[in-house]
Structure formats: C-alpha cells, structure tokens
A and B are shown apart, each in its own frame.
Chain A
Amino acid sequence: MNEKAITCKGLTKRFGDFIAVDNISFEVNTGEIFGFLGANGAGKTTAMRMLCGLSFPSSGEATVAGYDVFTKQESIKKNIGYMSQKFSLYENLTVKENIRFYGGIYGLTNAELKEKGEGLINKLGLHSESKKLVGELPLGWKQKLAFSVAIIHQPKIVFLDEPTGGVDPVTRRQFWDLIYDAADSGITIFVTTHYMDEAEYCNRISIMVDGRIDALDTPANLKQQYKAETMDEVFYALARGAKRSAD
C-alpha cells in the first residue's frame, strides 16, 4: 500500500540553541538505494537516529515503513535494520553466537536461525572463523558481518551509518555487493558515506549542509546540475558553502 519507505517533512532536531537537523524534507522509495551525504557534523547521524526511533524529533513529521516516528518507534524497530558508526556486535561473542543472539531477539524461530545463520556464514565465507570471537576478526570482516546481522530478519529498510569507514577498497567493493544483494531481495537501503565513488552506486543521493538538505537527485542529474565531471566536484561545490565547522 505504501510506495514510500521513508517520508520526512520539516524534520528538525534542536539541542538547546543548536539546530542539528534543520527542517529537512525528503522521501525514499521502496527498494531504493538512497545515499545520505554530507560533511562531518552536517547532521546525518542525528537525522538517521530520529528515523530509527532512537531520538525524538523536535518538530516536523516523518514516517518509516509507514509508522510515525513520534508515536510508533517500537513498530518501526520491528521493520528496520541499523548499523551504527560504532561497531555494534559483541566482541566477546563468537560469529555464530552474535548471529544467534541478534536473530533471536528479532524473533526468528530456531529453524530460521539455523538456516539463516548457515546461509550467512556461507555467503561471507566465514566457515573457519564461525567459532572465533568477533573481536579477533579484521575490521572489513566485522563490517560485513555487522551488515549481514543487521538484515538477518529481512527488514523493510536498513540504515547504514558510514558502514565502510576505514575499510580497504577491495572489502568496500565486496560490501557494496552485499548491499546490492540486499536491495535485490527488496530491502530499501539508506546509507551515509564519505566516499564519492560509493555515492555513484546509489539510485538517488541527498547532500546535507549545515543541517539542511541542499541537493537531492540521481548522481547523474546532480553532476549535470552542478556542471561537474564527478560527484567529488558536486560535493565540494555544496560543502564549501558550509558555515558550521567540521568536528
């Protein structure tokens, strides 16, 4: 019934005098890969936390998977996956135990846990590591695992906050293969990144500057609009106007 995975109208978050997210409005279509770009401190994470039901908006309105972010956070949480900037798996649990735990609290049955768990380990090629503590894995593997765990319950939307920060180019490429697979299976992807090559992989992108969304379109249209060869140039053109100092 709902074509839109996320709708957002005049969404604002204030911390005292500081307006972290300033009256942003946009929509994300179901099945889309939506890139959410912006310099450090532009307000991306704050906006994402509001959409995930982790933080109350100060004003405006928004729905995620058809549920209101003011009143239906717990319903939203059943329908989304989230991968935060901070690594969020338990480092002192093994790969298998993490999968079992997160699958379990999302309500997967034992049969599903077994099937999904094995499928996931196969897909990531983590057979020999499945009984290792997650803390012992290299960062790239951790991130791939964290993403796979974030979508283990086949959510409608998954929010990824700089999932490839600090990851090598080969692993980043593999990570995006996973994202495409997830998108193919019908999961809407909402992703923030600082890598402009990754921005090109998105269906549409928005660029946040000082808490506002200054541009929103397909990568091709944006390049045309800003008469730029690459997304890098588009980003510079917009981010240069920022008044807020980066963190």
Chain B
Amino acid sequence: MRTLRFLLEKEFKQIFRDKGLLPVIFIMPVIQLLIMPLAANFDVKNINLAVIDHDHSSYSQQLLSKIGSSGYFHITGNAASFPEAMKQIESEEADIIIEIPANFEEQLIKEGAEPIYLAADAINGTKAGLGSSYLNTILADFNSEIRMKLLPQQANTGIDIRSSDWFNPYLNYRIYMVPGILVILVTMVCGFIAALNIVKEKEVGTIEQINVTPVKKWEFIMGKMIPFWIIGMIDFTIGLLIARLVYGIIPVGNLFLLYGFLSVYLVALLGFGLLISTYSDTQLQAMFVAFFFIIIFILMSGLFISVDNMPVWGKVIARLSPVTYFIDVMRMIILKGSGFSDIKIPLLIEIAFAVILNGWAIFNYRKTA
C-alpha cells in the first residue's frame, strides 16, 4: 500500500503540472456542455415552404395562414408553377413545396374532398420527414374545421387522440440530451487520458524503469486508475452543476445511486483505456484506436438514435458498449427518478464490463516480456 501512495503522489504531481492537460480535463467539458446541447436540438423549426396556389380562394388563404401561424414554417413565396417552385428547392431556398390545385375550394365544398400535393427535399431527411408530418397534422386539422362548418352534425365523429408526454412534458430536447452529453464528455476525457497515459510512459521509457522495480502489476494499474477515476468524478460533478444552473435539470432520482453507477462505469471505462494502452506502442496508435472505439460507442449509445430503432446488428453493437448502459441509466435516474431495482440489470452488466476490461488489461500488461 505504501508503494501505491508513492505512485499516486507522482501521478497527481504530473497531472497538475501538465499545463496542456489541465484545460482538457476541466475546461473543455464545461465549454462543450454549454455549447453542444444548444446545437443538438432535433426540434425542426424554420422549414421553408414554397407555395403554389392555383386556387386563390378564401379557403386556400385560410389554409396558408394556418400553416404560417403554426410557428414551424416560413413561407418563402408564391410560385406560379411546379417547375418554378422546384427551382427554389434546387437553390435550397425551400425545403417543401405545397401545391394547391385550382378549384380547391369548390371541390372541397362540392365533393367534400380535394387532394393537395406536397413535395419535400429529402436530402435533409429529418426536415423533410418531420415537415411533411407537421403539414399533414395541420391539413387534417384544417380538414376537420371545414367539415365542422359544412356538416356540423357529423363533427363529433371519429377518434380524438390526446397524448401527454411524461417526464419531459414540454418535449424539451435539452432535458433529454444534456444527461447523455454529460456521459459522452466524461467518456471522452477519461477514456483518452487513460489510453494515452501508460503509452506515454512507454514512449519516454520510464515504464521500463518501473518494470525493473518490485512494483506489483496491480499497484501500477491502480496508481494509474485512481487519479483518473477521481478526475472523472469531478468532471461529472461539474457537469451536473452546469445541467442544474444552466439548463435547470435537477435529478429526480437518488444522487447516491447515480454516483454509485458512475463509479462502476468509470472503472469499466478506465479499464478500457488501459487495455488499449497495453496494446499500443505509441501515443498516436493509442489515440486512433481509442478514437475508433469511442466514436462507435457514442454513435451506438442511444444518445442520438434510440437503440430500439436500430437493426438487430446495431442493437448487438450497442449492447456491447459500456456507454449505452450508462446513458440509459442517467436518463432513468435523472429524468424518471428510477430506483435501484430499475437499474439493477444495467448495473450488473456494467460491473461485468469493469471486471472483464480491467482483468484483461492487467493480464496483458507484462512486466517481463
């Protein structure tokens, strides 16, 4: 244990003396947490709409003003014909074209139905998909208003769907994203630092000096692990404070439970970093290998794309990443207030990750080659 104390003392001195590393550890996550949630916003607003109105009736005007006042659309202008509107799409002035046929009002009154044509620029798939579906909702709404006016006796038929959104009633994207982004930041900082640290000692040659001393393998690994574990805890706490002060996100669930899971997660993550460092000979190598895995971990973690929506192979990859479980548990505890019994299984899986990754790293670190 005395040996471990000397190793830790040395490691902390080196970390706090590294003028390049300190901002990476403490400033970078703060800045990212302030910026990323603002950008990672999937609410689609400002959809540019090109209008071709062949009817110029009071109904078509009503419909357009309804669309304009919804807050999602910005009507870029009237086009006389479809090719003209298409030019607006090509020059990226418009995202969606809505074409109202001539005799729209007349047909609607007479026949009770008249098709409207929508064309969406699917290069920006999210904008096209969400924009069309918003438009559909508005049109359906408009439709029932007109029916109510024309045929009041039929007004109350059909199913009226009312939904309410739990745990995030205003569907605020930040509430959903911030806990996940916090996980990513802790993952990036600790994952990379742990991966690079031992390799740096390999490059400089000091690891050989350590290998020729009686320092035990576990002491050396613990000497590397504990400082980064503490840094991870501090980073996470800073992030949680920012989430509270800037985004007003106050964890609903138990903080001890959250930190308990975090402490296991960090052990797993640092084990992963150390494992990479035992296989790499240079910092560059370690960096690229760590980058490769961390990118996959992040994209498959369920932060941006729900794991449930992934194909089977995607789900398999997601389940093989320790990040996925932590993001899940973060959202559960912070937003839903889930208790221990709800997170028991992810916790067990995370413990398994910690044991396997660290066991592998210790096994693969050889004092005698």
> Measuring CB to CB, which residues of chain A are less than 8 angstroms from any residue of chain B?
52-56, 73-74, 77-78, 80, 82, 84, 86-93, 97, 100-102, 104-107
Q: A90-B10, A105-B3, A105-B213 are in contact. Are A54 and B205 (CB under 8 A)?
A: no
Q: Which of B185-243 contact A (CB under 8 A)?
A: 204-206, 208-216
Which residues does chain A contribute within 8 Å of B3, judged by CB atoms?
104-105, 107
Q: A84-B209, A86-B208 are in contact. Are A101 and B9 (CB under 8 A)?
A: yes
Instruction: State whether A92 touches B213 (Cβ < 8 A).
Output: no
Instruction: State whether A106 touches B204 (Cβ < 8 A).
Output: no
Which residues does chain B contribute within 8 Å of A78, judged by CB atoms?
214
Which residues does chain A contribute within 8 Å of B367, judged by CB atoms?
53-54, 73-74
Among A90, A100, A106, A107, point to the contact of B206 (Cβ < 8 A).
A90
Which residues does chain A contribute within 8 Å of B215, judged by CB atoms?
105
Q: Within the complex, what minimum Cβ distance (angstroms) separates B222 from chain A?
A: 13
A151–B17 alpha-carbon span in the complex (Å): 27
8 A–B contacts, CB within 8 A, in A order: A53-B368, A54-B211, A74-B216, A92-B14, A100-B9, A102-B213, A105-B210, A107-B3
Which residues does chain B contribute within 8 Å of A97, judged by CB atoms?
10, 13
Instruction: State whether B213 touches A106 (Cβ < 8 A).
Output: yes
Q: Which of B1-46 contact A (CB under 8 A)?
A: 2-3, 5-7, 9-10, 13-14, 17-18
Q: Which of B333-369 contact A (CB under 8 A)?
A: 367-369
Q: Within the complex, what minimum Cβ distance (angstroms) separates A78 from chain B?
A: 5
A90–B211 alpha-carbon span in the complex (Å): 14
Which residues does chain B contribute within 8 Å of A56, judged by CB atoms?
368-369
Which residues does chain A contribute within 8 Å of B204, judged by CB atoms?
86, 91
Instruction: State whether A77 touches B213 (Cβ < 8 A).
Output: yes
Instruction: State whether A106 touches B214 (Cβ < 8 A).
Output: yes
Which residues does chain A contribute within 8 Å of B213, judged by CB atoms?
77, 102, 105-106
User: What total count of A-B pairs have CB within 8 Å?
Assistant: 77
| Nearest neighbor of A78 in chain B, beta-carbon distance | B214
Which residues does chain A contribute within 8 Å of B211, judged by CB atoms?
54
Which residues does chain B contribute within 8 Å of A87, judged by CB atoms?
205
Which residues does chain A contribute within 8 Å of B14, judged by CB atoms?
90, 92-93
Q: Within the complex, what minimum Cβ distance (angstroms) separates A227 from chain B?
A: 40
Which residues does chain B contribute within 8 Å of A52, judged by CB atoms?
212
Which residues does chain B contribute within 8 Å of A77, judged by CB atoms?
212-214
A104–B13 alpha-carbon span in the complex (Å): 15
| Nearest neighbor of B219 in chain A, beta-carbon distance | A105
Among A53, A73, A92, A101, point to the contact of B6 (Cβ < 8 A).
A101
A52–B211 alpha-carbon span in the complex (Å): 9
Q: Within the complex, what minimum Cβ distance (angstroms) separates A189 from chain B?
A: 16
| Nearest neighbor of A79 in chain B, beta-carbon distance | B214
Instruction: State whether A54 touches B10 (Cβ < 8 A).
Output: no
Q: Within the complex, what minimum Cβ distance (angstroms) separates B168 from chain A?
A: 46
Instruction: State whether A82 touches B209 (Cβ < 8 A).
Output: yes
A104–B11 alpha-carbon span in the complex (Å): 14
A53–B9 alpha-carbon span in the complex (Å): 26
Which residues does chain B contribute within 8 Å of A100, judged by CB atoms?
6, 9
Instruction: State whether B206 touches A88 (Cβ < 8 A).
Output: yes
Q: A54-B368, A78-B214, A105-B213 are in contact. Are A93 and B208 (CB under 8 A)?
A: no
Instruction: State whether A54 touches B214 (Cβ < 8 A).
Output: no
Among A53, A82, A92, point to the contact of B17 (Cβ < 8 A).
A92
- Given contacts A53-B368, A90-B10, list 11 more A-B pairs with CB under 8 A: A53-B212, A56-B369, A77-B213, A90-B14, A91-B204, A93-B13, A100-B6, A101-B6, A105-B210, A106-B214, A107-B214
Instruction: State whether A73 touches B205 (Cβ < 8 A).
Output: no
A86–B204 alpha-carbon span in the complex (Å): 8
Which residues does chain A contribute within 8 Å of B206, judged by CB atoms?
88-90
| Nearest neighbor of B6 in chain A, beta-carbon distance | A104
| Nearest neighbor of B217 in chain A, beta-carbon distance | A74
| Nearest neighbor of A94 in chain B, beta-carbon distance | B13
Which residues does chain A contribute within 8 Å of B212, judged by CB atoms?
52-54, 77, 80, 82, 84
Which residues does chain B contribute within 8 Å of A107, judged by CB atoms?
2-3, 214
A104–B4 alpha-carbon span in the complex (Å): 9
| Nearest neighbor of B207 in chain A, beta-carbon distance | A88
| Nearest neighbor of B220 in chain A, beta-carbon distance | A105
Q: Within the complex, what minimum Cβ distance (angstroms) separates B264 from chain A?
A: 29
Instruction: State whether B17 touches A84 (Cβ < 8 A).
Output: no
Which residues does chain A contribute within 8 Å of B9, judged by CB atoms?
100-101, 104
| Nearest neighbor of B203 in chain A, beta-carbon distance | A86
Q: Within the complex, what minimum Cβ distance (angstroms) separates B16 from chain A?
A: 10
A93–B205 alpha-carbon span in the complex (Å): 15
A34–B17 alpha-carbon span in the complex (Å): 40
Which residues does chain B contribute within 8 Å of A105, judged by CB atoms?
3, 6-7, 210, 213-215
Q: Within the complex, what minimum Cβ distance (angstroms) separates A48 from chain B?
A: 10
Which residues does chain B contribute within 8 Å of A101, judged by CB atoms?
6, 9-10
Q: Within the complex, what minimum Cβ distance (angstroms) separates B282 from chain A?
A: 14
| Nearest neighbor of B223 in chain A, beta-carbon distance | A105
A227–B214 alpha-carbon span in the complex (Å): 45
List the 7 shortest-distance A-B pairs measured between CB atoms, nearest first: A86-B205, A104-B6, A88-B209, A82-B212, A78-B214, A101-B10, A77-B214
Instruction: State whether B368 touches A84 (Cβ < 8 A).
Output: no
Which residues does chain B contribute within 8 Å of A88, judged by CB atoms?
205-206, 208-209
| Nearest neighbor of B17 in chain A, beta-carbon distance | A92
Q: Within the complex, what minimum Cβ distance (angstroms) separates B36 from chain A?
A: 32
Q: Within the complex, what minimum Cβ distance (angstroms) separates B217 from chain A?
A: 10
Which residues does chain B contribute within 8 Å of A86, judged by CB atoms?
204-205, 208
Which residues does chain A contribute within 8 Å of B205, judged by CB atoms?
84, 86-88
